[in-house]
């Protein structure tokens, strides 16, 4: 696009930036897309459908002063620090495009091209990754709300990769499926691939130059009114431990399976053969609240055909990304644990 709004703040609080994103998504008075490039203190960011205790070494995070926040987007847990750049693009959204296509083409694509112009051979690959020499430097995730799509991603520039490895728990099946021995072997810092390494802040300026090239960019400052709205969102959600650290309740039945589109964890309470509550979690790339899908199964008899009928004609893409109906049902009904 030829016109773009740019917003930048000095905050290193990830919860603040997620609150700014949601404020823009809710109020968004512009026709142009909005870009933000930001940084954080040490932080572990959970996907919207993940449980902290399953994804992170929470005790280690507390010992090391690593902030834990929950995004409104799907996908897996990432680690960021002042050596990481994060970018956000907020755009009008219509059902004409699947959000992940927007992420790859309109957000991931320009970021990869900017890196290439710096001499870094970056490619958008897989579900939602940007790779350099086969190693991950960035992941993309999204959510759709109020007719907007918010796409955000991280760029490992000079991150503490040992701390990243220590705080994030990766299930063995994911490692086996990628034929890799450890998460550390999957990631790399962009600084290692630059002919003339610089600081993270200097790299942000370089990235901006390349992303802004050929665009009409207007920088906007957050007003006091904006900040008051952001603070309300912060207290309600992203800065609220009850939102961030929700625990998974115990269920009558539970099962977990990994598919090419991500991991799915299903929990069901079944009373006298009828489903009283349903929980669907995982690192799949959904873009809307999973509650809409969970509620379709509640009140049904715990039978394959009843569940299959409930989602007949329902588009699962917004809820589960690339997870198919057959895959979801196989997770629910194959060898469920008592």
Residue 26: predicted pLDDT: 95
Structure tokens at 113: 């091209």
- The verdict on 58 and 122 lying in the same domain is yes
181 token code pair: 């021995």
Q: Do 305 and 157 share a structural domain?
A: no
Q: Is residue 338 part of a domain?
A: no
Q: What is the pTM of this model?
A: 0.89
Q: Tell whether 44 and 176 lie within a shared domain.
A: yes
Residue with tokens 């130059």: 209
Identify whether 304 is part of a domain: yes
Report the C-alpha dihedral over residues 243, 291, 228, 220, rounded to 10 degrees.
Answer: 120
| pLDDT above 90: residue 72 | yes
Average pLDDT over residues 234-239: 97
- Residues 170, 292, single domain; the answer is no
Domain of residue 314, CATH code: 3.30.390.50
Domain that holds residue 316: 253-333
Query: Which of residues 244, 269, 303 is at a domain's end?
Result: 244
The whole-number pLDDT of residue 133 equals: 92
Quick check: 177 and 130 in contact, CB under 8 A?
no
Whether residues 182 and 221 share a domain: the answer is: yes
Is 134 found in the same domain as 269? no
Give the domain-ending residue among 195, 212, 244: 244
Can you tell me which residue has the tokens 């194959």? 334
**Burial (Cβ within 10 Å: 0-12, 13-18, ≥19) of residue 219:** exposed
What is the rounded average pLDDT of the residues 80-86? 98
CATH number of the domain residue 222 falls in: 3.30.930.10
Q: What is the overall mean pLDDT for the chain?
A: 90
What is the Cα–Cα distance from 174 to 262, expressed in whole angstroms?
9
* ∠ Cα 143 7 12 (to 5°): 80
Domain count, the chain: 2
């Amino acid at each position: 696009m030829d016109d773009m709004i740019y917003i930048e703040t000095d905050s290193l609080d990830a919860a603040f930036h997620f609150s700014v994103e949601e404020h823009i998504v809710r109020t968004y008075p512009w026709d142009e897309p909005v870009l933000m490039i930001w940084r954080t203190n040490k932080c572990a960011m959970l996907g919207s459908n993940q449980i902290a205790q399953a994804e992170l070494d929470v005790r280690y995070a507390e010992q090391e002063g690593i902030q834990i926040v929950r995004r409104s987007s799907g996908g897996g847990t990432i680690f960021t620090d002042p050596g990481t750049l994060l970018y956000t693009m907020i755009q009008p959204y219509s059902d004409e495009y699947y959000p992940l296509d927007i992420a790859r083409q309109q957000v991931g694509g320009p970021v990869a091209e900017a890196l290439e112009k710096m001499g870094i051979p970056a490619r958008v690959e897989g579900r939602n990754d940007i790779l350099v020499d086969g190693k991950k430097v960035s992941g993309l995730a999204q959510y759709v709300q109020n007719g907007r799509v918010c796409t955000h991603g991280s760029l490992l520039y000079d991150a503490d990769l040992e701390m990243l490895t220590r705080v994030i728990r990766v299930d063995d099946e994911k490692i086996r499926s990628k034929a890799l021995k450890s998460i550390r072997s999957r990631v790399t810092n962009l600084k290692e691939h630059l002919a003339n390494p610089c600081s993270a802040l200097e790299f942000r300026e370089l990235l901006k130059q390349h992303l802004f090239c050929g665009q009409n960019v207007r920088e906007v400052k957050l007003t006091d009114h904006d900040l008051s709205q952001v603070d309300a969102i912060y207290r309600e959600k992203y800065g609220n431990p009850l939102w961030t650290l929700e625990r998974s309740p115990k269920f009558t039945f539970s099962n977990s399976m990994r598919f090419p589109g991500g991991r799915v964890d299903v929990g069901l309470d079944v009373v006298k053969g009828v489903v009283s509550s349903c929980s669907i979690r995982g690192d799949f790339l959904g873009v809307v609240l999973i509650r809409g899908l969970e509620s379709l199964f509640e009140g049904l008899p715990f039978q394959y055909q009843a569940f299959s009928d409930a989602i007949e004609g329902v588009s699962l893409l917004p809820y589960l990304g690339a997870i198919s109906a057959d895959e979801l049902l196989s997770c629910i009904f194959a060898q469920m644990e008592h």
